[in-house]
Amino acid sequence: MITYAATLDVPRHVAEFLARLLAGRRCRIGTPRRSRALGPFRQAVLVLRWFRRGSCVHCLARDTGISQATGYRYLHEGIDVLAEQAPDLHQVLAECRNRGMNHLVLDGTLIQCDRIAGTHLNAEGRAVDTWYSAKNKAFGANVQFLAAPDGTPLWVSDAEPGSVPDITAARTHCLPALYKAAADGLPTLADSGYQGAGIGIHHPFKKPRGGSHLRFHSDTQTRNALLRGVRALGERAAAELKERWRTLKHITLSPNRIGAITKATLVLNNTWR
């Protein structure tokens, strides 16, 4: 066996923040002192290694001298205490209005996972894979993001199966609140996948099906170009979370945990910032 030293490239205050949350949970559920294999800080490091590097839980458990089952339990515990700290949508919108933001950016992304069994009938009556995204040609879950104009991630939704389109997921999780925000002077910019989202959700218009470029009015093309230019910075929110917390690139846990995992990464990201 060869041993070597390693460094986790996460600010110490992020690990201390998570350790305090874990210690608080142990107090709430009445865990006796020194009854755990790992203390709160070492458990926090295990959880952060998984989020930051996407390491396999078996390797994390082996490195800390605990069983694989205990490693999974510690990981899920860390995900839960972080997800509980995720900001509420209405709270985020109120804060954005108080900070004087002139718009928000709405976008959706696919959090990929292993292939999952499960089918449903689509609108045409054909059986399709529930978790398969035809748009991305991969299995995963659809998560909606709200970002500040500079691309700072502000809010993430619960996860929907990958076959659910962005517009449907947005109607379920955030559009009603965004309508109210738009009426109060805080519009939302989105991509063309949200066409038909409603008043206050500004998006580029798609070229008419079967229509030539000449029939696509120049005013519409100019409007689309302006919207894409203003929205461009805001669309980096999902990329920032996926690149900083690499476990979001491919999750091997149950897909039902993807929503909680994404919310946990948002909390970690906000703490890092």
Long-range contacts of 206-215 (CB under 8 A, 24+ apart): none
pLDDT in tens, 23-62: 999 899 988 888 888 889 999 999 999 999 888 888 888 8
The answer to whether the CB of 92 falls within 8 A of the CB of 153 is no
pLDDT in tens, 190-206: 888 888 878 888 888 77
Q: Is the pLDDT of residue 264 over 90?
A: yes
The pLDDT of residue 209 is 66
pLDDT band of residue 212 (cuts 50, 70, 90) is low
In eight-state DSSP terms, residue 34 is T
Structure tokens at 153: 């991630």
pLDDT in tens, 76-99: 999 999 999 999 999 999 999 999
The pLDDT of residue 44 is 94
pLDDT band of residue 128 (cuts 50, 70, 90) is confident
- CA-to-CA distance for 119 and 135, rounded, in angstroms? 17
Q: Is the pLDDT of residue 1 over 50?
A: yes
Q: Is the pLDDT of residue 188 over 50?
A: yes
Structure tokens at 30: 């009445």
Q: Is the pLDDT of residue 208 over 80?
A: no
- CA-to-CA distance for 177 and 236, rounded, in angstroms? 22
Contacts of 115 (CB under 8 A, 6+ apart): 139
Across residues 149-170, what is the average pLDDT? Answer: 90
131 vs 42, higher pLDDT = 42
In eight-state DSSP terms, residue 54 is -
Across residues 180-191, what is the average pLDDT? Answer: 89
Q: What is the mean pLDDT of the chain?
A: 86
The pLDDT of residue 214 is 45
The pLDDT of residue 211 is 58
The pLDDT of residue 216 is 59
Q: Could you give the 3-state DSSP secondary structure of residue 27?
A: helix
